[in-house]
Amino acid sequence: MAPPCGNRRRWSRAIKMTLCLCFLIPMAAGIRNTNTIFGQKQKLDVQQQLKFLNRPALKSIKSPDGDIIDCVHINKQPAFDHPFLKDHKIQMRPSFHPEGLSFDESKDVSSKAESKITQLWHLNGRCPEGTIPIKRTKEEDLLRASSVATYGRKKHPRFNTDVTVKGDGREHALVYVEGDKYYGAKATINAWKPQIQEHDEFSSSQILIRGDVSGVGVNTIEAGWQVNYELYGDTNTRLFIFWSNTNANQTTGCYNLLCSGFVQTNDQIGLGGALAPLSNYAGSQYELNFLVWKDPNGGNWWLQVGDKYILGYWPASLFLSLFDSASEIHWGGEVINSQQGDEHTSTQMGSGHFPDEGYSRASYFNNFQIVDSSNILTAPKNSSTLAEKPKCYNVINLGSLFYYGGPGRNLNCP
Catalytic residue among 201, 222, 230, 287: 222
Catalytic residue among 201, 230, 287, 334: 334
Phi first, then psi, for residue 117 (nearest 5°) are: -85, 135
Strand positions, DSSP E, 116-262: 118-119, 131-135, 170-182, 184-190, 202-213, 217-228, 238-246, 251-255
Partner residues linked to 336 by β-bridges: 170
Q: Are 266 and 275 in contact (CB under 8 A)?
A: no
The answer to whether residue 334 is catalytic is yes
What contacts 218, CB < 8 A, 6 or more positions away?
158, 210, 211, 212, 244, 246, 247, 321
Cα–Cα distances (Å) from 268 to 96, 120, 168, in that order, read 21, 12, 36
Q: Radius of gyration (Cα) for the chain, nearest Å?
A: 26
The count of residues in the chain is 414
d(CA 184, CA 272): 22
SS3 state of residue 386? strand
Phi first, then psi, for residue 53 (nearest 5°) are: -80, -35
* Residue 332 burial (C-beta neighbours within 10 Å; 0-12, 13-18, 19+): buried
Tell me the CA end-to-end span of the chain in Å, nearest whole number. Answer: 78
Query: What ranges in 264-335 are assigned the alpha helix state H?
Result: none
Q: Determine the residue type at 238.
A: R
d(CA 109, CA 114): 10
What contacts 250, CB < 8 A, 6 or more positions away?
none
Phi first, then psi, for residue 35 (nearest 5°) are: -60, -40
The answer to whether residue 343 is catalytic is no
What contacts 80, CB < 8 A, 6 or more positions away?
86, 88, 260
Instruction: List the catalytic residues.
Output: 222, 334
